[in-house]
Structure 1
Amino acid sequence: MTPQRLKSVGIGRKSGDRYSSASTYGQLGLFAQAQENYAKARANLQTALEIYVEY
């Protein structure tokens, strides 16, 4: 995970903006998938889905 993405997720968490955090996790999941890191992709996409379900 890049420092910028880590910062983005942290900012979303701190501000309570769960919807933006879900978007970031989704993008991280797609990035991990492109890198063929399927375990990390699944974990990030699952986290995004759990947050989206709240909305």
Structure 2
Amino acid sequence: MEDNETTFDQFYERIQKTIDALKTAKPEDFEGKDNMEVVIAEKYKFTGVGYVQDFGMSET
């Protein structure tokens, strides 16, 4: 998704689109992705497991 929201309404719409997309994900979609590279804004790079452990589950 593009990162071009300029209002809270647009941001809430993006959140809902993200939730809707996640609802379609199946466990098998993630099988074998443990070591797949995850890149966020070309600034952060992780493996699948590293993303979940170090970024996705962080409390910051």
* TM-score of the two chains, using structure 1 as the length reference: 0.36
Bigger share in helix: 1
RCO comparison, higher one (Cα < 8 Å, 6+): 1
Bigger share in strand: 2
Q: Which has the larger radius of gyration?
A: 2
